[in-house]
């Protein structure tokens, strides 16, 4: 594998000095890019994109061709794991993800087994390898997975939900069943992320989209505890390089100290958190990733710059900040706004670091 030319992201995640603040965007390969929609239409469907390593590589690289992003992130979906567990993932038009066989039955839950990523998720690992080759060491590749609780939400509800009534009824009425699902899913995610690391992922991120819908105590027991197990089971070094791990819970503000204590290198922040306060609370232990409101990208260029600069200033001097949105980029975002944002972060962050613009390797 080629040596990494721009390792700014890795250094920032490990709170080592960098010349500027690195930036990437959650869901940076996506529907706001016309070239993505073209590839998707050739692939026939979203799942067709995910399951074909050639297409997955193509769309992963698309935003990097347009913007000076400091990382690529594997194009995939968090629900590939429950799909590999046999739940039958499909996408109903205009309705989001669904499972043919949601987990409601006690026997199905008892029978749930950890998939072999090298078999059932081979297509993802192939995509990781192919993307690494295609990147040629330009920027690092981030691998990812969903948190066990977030996956369980979809697995038990059978799709997206407004109120998570089914999974929460299980949580309160039959916590043993939910713990069983979470246990198997945590093992599955651990194996899966380790397989991504072996295939070439240079950092990994756990997306806990729904953990914030839990009560304060239930979050720790049903979401955080299982992310902690995953982190404890990850290969943290591969091919001589340290592999940073990022944990992102939407609605994280109530649990920042708890999240920072599970052994991750960095904590992803949604936009409701003040990053200055977050740094004061946990910045001595972990790096912070975030946290621009994705809706800022609908505003004129000067507003995008002003809001980005506010976040850079709020984090302040020194390393340990990876600029990102507080959630995935909207499909309605104008691509020029992304270019403006990325360039602004690179330019405006120089003053918070030791180096100058010329030292940027990207």
Structure tokens at 50: 């995910």
- In the complex with its own copies, the residue whose CB is nearer, 134 or 299, is 299
Contact 254, 223 (CB under 8 A): no
Structure tokens at 309: 């600069």
Among 299, 343, 352, 362, binds its own copies (CB under 8 A): 299
92 touches its own copies (CB under 8 A): no
The residue among 127, 274, 120, 139 whose CA lies nearest residue 191 is 120
165 touches its own copies (CB under 8 A): yes
Residue 208 Cβ vs its own copies, minimum distance, rounded to whole Å = 13
169 touches its own copies (CB under 8 A): yes
Contact 79, 146 (CB under 8 A): yes
Q: What is the DSSP letter of 330?
A: P
Structure tokens at 247: 């944990």
Site for its own copies in 145-164 (CB under 8 A): 163-164
Considering only 46-54, 108-116, 140-148, 165-173, which stretch makes contact with its own copies by CB under 8 A? Answer: 165-173
- In the complex with its own copies, the residue whose CB is nearer, 137 or 175, is 175
Catalytic annotation, pick one of 11, 15, 27, 229: 27
Contact 173, 165 (CB under 8 A): no
Catalytic annotation, pick one of 70, 77, 265, 270: 77
Residue 299 CB contacts under 8 Å (≥ 6 apart), including other chains: 307, 337
221 touches its own copies (CB under 8 A): no
Name the phi and psi angles at 123, rounded to 5. Answer: -60, -30
Considering only 66-74, 184-192, 225-233, 247-255, which stretch makes contact with its own copies by CB under 8 A? Answer: 247-255
332 touches its own copies (CB under 8 A): yes
Please tell me the number of Cα atoms within 13 Å of 237 on its side-chain side.
2
Residue 42 Cβ vs its own copies, minimum distance, rounded to whole Å = 27
State yes or no: is 83 an active-site residue. Answer: no
CA-CA distance, 191 to 89, in Å (whole number)? 20
DSSP string across 169-183: HHHHH-HHHHHHHHH
Structure tokens at 77: 């979906």
Contact 89, 80 (CB under 8 A): yes
217 touches its own copies (CB under 8 A): yes
State yes or no: is 174 an active-site residue. Answer: no
Structure tokens at 54: 């050639």
- In the complex with its own copies, the residue whose CB is nearer, 242 or 281, is 281
Catalytic annotation, pick one of 154, 192, 219, 226: 154
State yes or no: is 285 an active-site residue. Answer: no
298 touches its own copies (CB under 8 A): yes
Considering only 47-55, 117-125, 251-259, 344-352, which stretch makes contact with its own copies by CB under 8 A? Answer: 251-259
Among 251, 263, 316, 318, binds its own copies (CB under 8 A): 251
C-alpha angle 142-26-181 in degrees, rounded to nearest 5:
75
Catalytic residues: 27, 31, 40, 77, 154
Residues that bind its own copies (CB under 8 A): 163-165, 168-169, 171-173, 212-219, 251, 253-254, 271-274, 277, 293, 295-296, 298-300, 303, 307, 310, 326, 330, 332
């Amino acid at each position: 594998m080629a040596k990494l030319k721009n390792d700014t992201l890795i250094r920032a995640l490990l709170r080592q000095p960098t010349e500027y603040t690195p930036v990437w965007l959650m869901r940076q390969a996506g529907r706001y890019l016309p070239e993505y929609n073209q590839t998707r239409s050739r692939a026939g469907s979203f799942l067709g994109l995910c399951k074909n390593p050639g297409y997955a590589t193509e769309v992963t690289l698309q935003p990097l061709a347009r913007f000076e992003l400091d990382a690529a992130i594997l194009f995939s979906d968090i629900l590939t794991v429950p799909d590999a567990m046999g739940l039958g993932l499909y996408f109903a038009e205009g309705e989001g993800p669904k499972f043919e066989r949601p987990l409601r039955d006690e026997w199905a839950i008892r029978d749930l087994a950890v998939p072999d990523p090298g078999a059932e998720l081979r297509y993802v690992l192939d995509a990781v390898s192919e993307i690494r080759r295609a990147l040629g060491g330009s920027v690092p590749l981030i691998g990812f997975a969903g948190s066990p609780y977030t996956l369980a939400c979809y697995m038990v509800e059978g799709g997206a939900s407004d109120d998570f009534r089914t999974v929460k009824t299980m949580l309160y009425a039959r916590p043993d069943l939910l713990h069983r699902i979470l246990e198997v899913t945590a093992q599955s995610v651990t194996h899966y992320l380790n397989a991504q690391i072996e295939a070439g992922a240079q950092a990994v991120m756990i997306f806990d989209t729904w953990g914030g819908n839990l009560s304060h105590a239930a979050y720790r027991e049903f979401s955080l505890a299982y992310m902690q197990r995953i982190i404890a089971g990850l290969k943290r070094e591969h091919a001589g390089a340290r592999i940073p791990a990022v944990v992102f819970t939407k609605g994280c503000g109530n649990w920042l100290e708890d999240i920072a204590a599970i052994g991750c290198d960095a904590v992803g922040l949604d936009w409701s958190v003040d990053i200055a306060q977050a740094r004061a609370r946990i910045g001595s232990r972990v790096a912070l990733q975030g946290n621009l409101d994705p809706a800022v990208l609908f505003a004129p260029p000067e507003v995008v710059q002003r809001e980005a600069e506010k976040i850079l200033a709020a984090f302040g001097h020194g390393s340990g900040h990876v600029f990102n949105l507080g959630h995935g980029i909207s499909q309605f975002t104008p691509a020029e706004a992304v270019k403006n944002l990325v360039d602004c972060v690179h330019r405006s962050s120089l003053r918070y670091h030791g180096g100058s613009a010329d030292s940027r390797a990207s």
